Amino acid sequence: KQSRYERRIRRWKRDARSELDSRDWGKGNFARLNFCIPDYLDCTERIDIDKVSDKEFIERFERHGIPVVITGATRGWNADDNWSPQRLLDRFYNEKFKVGEDDDGKSVHVPFSYFMNYCLASGDAEKDDSPLYIFDPNFGDRSRNNTADDIKRKKKSGNENEKKKEEQMLADYIIPRYFRDDLFQYTGSRRPPHRWVVIGPKRSGTGIHIDPLGTSAWNTLLTGHKRWALFPPEIPKNLVTMRGLPDHEAATWFVMVYPRLHDRSTIDHTGKTLAERLGIINIIQRPGETVFVPGGWHHLVINLDFTVGVTQNFCSVASWETVWLKTRNSRPKMGERL
């Protein structure tokens, strides 16, 4: 007989990925694979935020759309202590975080205590090919024991005590100074989701995508290690993926697509593999590092162990024209505010 925990996890898995039977989450046996890569493959430049000025960052990286890894951005963050796995569990034991959407587009929320048990105690996540992953855009709008309906009620009531609770996680970090000049802040209530807390076990992650509306992004890691693959904007998506993939999970891409791009049979007269000709950038992100993803870059991320981080999309002065053109066409009313 299944326990209450087992029944609920099975239900949340079914809601988040209805195409899979609960017994099929580990059918690829990805748990036996090593997703790490040698350090020499990560050639991405790293800069210290205290040694590179805003002007230099814009001229060297942002204006030319070049990814970079930033160190030192978490100095002074309360999240360094407050977002450790145990501290998060103590603070948000019954808080519900989003792990996906069902077939009707409704958010699937899991109590944090259940999620942490799934990730670190029960061994369930260790067996899954691509485990459940917290990717929650409402972490700054909810306090303990909230549901989506609670959020709406509190926004209408404007209760100041509740507002202080809601801002707990937002107060734990400071937007790195390179990214504070965010023009989307002027779009008011029309702004789409733009910041997420991201928490997940080994092999969870996000499949290949381009951030919406031409926005750029920063992603700061506090716990664990992430592996990234990025491709320049001019590369067609059909060249960095393949038909017939069983799903869009990052783990599946790294197992089925990445080896194909690096296969020796793809080496041409220049001596480069297809991956090298496409301009792939590999990154191993470590605790305390922030990855800058310029607008238009294809990218995907897989967790190499249990990770905790925060990410945010933004529109800067340097990228305003591109973002405005895309926003004007797809979100005209929001574009009027840019």
Q: Which residue has the higher pLDDT, 326 or 45?
A: 45
Q: Between these two residues, 50 and 213, which has the higher pLDDT value?
A: 50
pLDDT in tens, 109-164: 999 999 999 999 999 999 999 999 999 999 887 554 454 445 445 555 555 544 55
Looking at residue 72, its amino acid is G
pLDDT number for residue 320: 80
Arithmetic mean of pLDDT over the chain: 90
pLDDT band at 290 (very low <50, low <70, confident <90, very high): very high
With a pLDDT cut of 90, the percent of the chain lying above it is 76
Q: What are the tens digits of pLDDT across the range 180-229?
A: 988 888 887 777 888 999 999 999 999 999 998 889 999 999 999 999 99
**Residues 31/8, Cβ–Cβ less than 8 Å:** no
DSSP 37: -
Q: What pLDDT does 145 receive?
A: 47
pLDDT exceeds 80 at position 292: yes
Distance CA 170, CA 239 (A): 38
Q: CA-CA distances (angstroms) from residue 261 to 40, 240, 273, 293, 315?
A: 18, 8, 7, 21, 32
With contact defined as beta carbons under 8 Å apart, do 322 and 297 qualify? no
Q: What is the pLDDT of residue 250?
A: 97
> pLDDT tens digits, residue range 261-273?
999 999 999 999 9
Coil, helix or strand for 182? Answer: coil
pTM, full prediction: 0.90
Radius of gyration over every alpha carbon of the chain, rounded to an integer in angstroms: 20
Averaged pLDDT, 252-256: 97
CA distances to 14, 171, 306 from 119, in Å: 17, 26, 8
Joined together, the tokens standing for residue 258 give 């990445």
Residue 51: the pLDDT is 98
Q: With the C-alpha atoms ordered 78, 79, 80, 83, is the resulting torsion angle positive or negative? A: positive
pLDDT in tens, 5-37: 999 999 999 999 999 888 899 999 999 999 999
What SS3 state is found at 220?
strand
| Per-residue pLDDT tens over the stretch 62-111 | 999 999 999 999 999 999 999 999 999 999 999 999 999 999 999 999 99
Adjacency order of strands within the sheet including 226-231: 205-209, 298-303, 226-231, 281-285
98, 104 Cβ separation under 8 angstroms: no
